Structure 1
C-alpha cells in the first residue's frame, strides 16, 4: 500500500552522462532477488555524502567515511564506484563487519583496476548478521556486465528492502544554454527517522560543480529533504545519502551558489531530493496518509522542529490519523511535551488544512468535529501549528501508523 505513489516509468528516468549502473542477483538473503547494485563513475567525478547520526553505525558507513576523507584532487584518490547490497545491513557485526565491508570494496576495486579507497560500500537489511561476502563478490561480475547509463530504474529496484515500489526521479535544467540532468534513486519504508532514515539515497548530476562545494551541498540537501521525514522515529544504523557530480556538462564551473546558474541548479537538486524523500514517506510501511506538519511562529527553526517531530512521532497522533478520528487534543499534548521552553499555551493555534481547530490555545468556537473528520479522511493532510512566539518556520513530512506496520515488522525476517 502506498499513498499516491506509483512505480516510475523507466522512460522518464534519465541517464546522467558519466554514470553507469549494473544490477545482479547475488542471493544475499533470498534467491531470485535483485540485491546487488554497482554505480560506476567516470574519472573526474566529485562525490560527497551524509550518513546516519546513530552512534551504532554500520560497518559500511564507517568505511565510506574513511574513504571519503582520503579523497583529494589526485586522479587515483577520486571515488569511482559504489557497491550496494540489500538483505543484510552489516551492522552490529564488530571487527568482522568492518573487515567484510573492506573486503567488498577490495573485490570491486580489483575488478575495476582501481584502489579500494575509490570504492564506497553500502548495505541495508537485517542487523547483527554477518555479511555473505563470498556471494556478493561472486555477483560482482554480473553486475558489472549489466552496467549501463540507462539502468537507473533497475537500480531503484535493486536497492529495495521492504519498499513496495522503486523510487526514482529525474529533472533537467538549462545552465548557460546547456541542458543538465539530475537523476536520483532512494529506498526506505520503515525504521525511518531523520539523522537520517533507514534509507539509501543516491543523487547524480552531470553539472560542472566545483568539488569543494559538494560536502556542504550534500548536508544542505539532506537537511531540507531526507532529514525532514519520519515514519516511526527509529534512526537506522545504515542511512546514507550521496551526491555525485560527473562534471560532464559544458558550462562554466559553478563555484558560487548565488549566481543565476547556481541558484537554478541548487533549486533543481533540492526538488529531486525532496521528491525522493517524500516517496519514502508515501511508501511507509502500512501507510495510508501522507501528512505535512508545518510549525510556524517559533523563536527558532529548532523549536519548530521539536514541535513538528513530537507530533510526527506520537503513536496516539499517528493512529488517530489512521482511523480518521479527530481526537486532535493529542496534537496539542505533543506540542506541550516537545521541550520548548516558556511555551505560552494561550498563543497556540492549530489548523487541519483549511479548518481552524484551535485559537488562542483553546478550541475554536466555530470548529465542528465533522470538519476535522472530513480532512482526516483525505489521503494527504497538512497539520499547521502556530506557536505565537516569533517568525521561524519548519516542516516535517510523516505518515499514519496502521495495523499493517506492526504486521510488516513482526514478519520482517521471515
Structure 2
C-alpha cells in the first residue's frame, strides 16, 4: 500500500490513458489506484480522493485522454514503471478529447480488428486493440507478482495471423487451445526495448472462431537435453487466499496477517509457490542456466509443508541426470531419462534366454525426510 501522506514535492501535471482502476480500498483512509499509460510508459496512480473514483472509472471505460493536475510525482521502485503519481486532495482530473481520436475510438474499448503486421511495423503508443489470431505455441507458464502485490498466473503464447506473429501474455486462469483461432478483444499493445507484444487486460475477451486462413509459420526454439543438475537456487513465495504476496511468514504460527487484505488467515490457508533457477550440465557442451517455476519443479519433487528452502535445493541437486526441455531459458518439462533397450529379432537369438529374477536392490537417493522425487515414487510403486 502506498503512503497516505507523501512528502511535499514539486506539484506537476501528467497526461495519459487510465486503466486497471481498482475498487476503493481501506474504509478508514479510503484510496484507490490505477495505471496511467502515456507514450509506452506506465505510471502507478494512487488517488486519495474517493469522490473522484467514478470519474476515473468513466475515463477508463471511454478510453479518454485525461489530464491529472497538481499531482505529486516520485520515482517508482518498480523497474517496469517510471513514476508513481500521487493524486491528493488538492489534485484535479480533466478529460481531453481530440475530435479525430474520439471518432476513431467511437466504439470505446472495442476498436476495429487490426492485422499483426500493422502492430509490428507501427511505432505505436500503448493502446488497446482487437485481433483475430491463431494460438501457435505455449511458450511459458508460471506465476508473477504484479504491481499491486498480487501473485497471478501468467502464460505466454506465440500468436499469428496471415501477416505476422507476436507474443501474447495471458493473465489469470483461462481456457485456450493451441492450434485454434480466437477473436481477442481489448488487448494492450506494448513496446519494450524495441519489441512489440500484447498482454491481456481485465476487459479482454477471447472467443474461439473458425479458421481465418493460413497463419504464418513460426515456432519458438525448444531444446530437450539430458543433463545433470549441478546447481540450484530457489525462493519461496507465500500467497494469501486473495492472491496477495506475504512477507515474513512463519507457518508454525497459527495465523498469518495479510496487510493488503487487513485480515488474519489460518496458516493452513496460505499457498506456497516455489521458483528459481537451475544450473544444468549437458553430456556435452557448456553449463546452461534456466529458470524453473513451481508447477515444473513439483512434477519431480513432492514438497511437504515442512520442507525448508535448503531441503528443496539439496533434493534438486541429488536428482539423477534428467531429460529437461528448455524454451527461451525456461524449464518447461522435466522427465526421467528413457531407458535404452536394444531389441533383436528371434533369428538373431542363438541361445535361450531365461527370465531373470527381478532384483530387490535399488539405488536410493539421499533421503531428506520431507521431499520425494519422481524416481522414488516409481520405485515405491513397483515394490
Same fold (TM over 0.5): no
Higher strand share: 2
Question: Which structure has the larger Rg over C-alpha atoms?
Answer: 2
Give TM-score scaled by structure 1 length.
0.26
TM-score by length of 2: 0.28
Q: Whose helix fraction is larger, Structure 1's or Structure 2's? A: 1
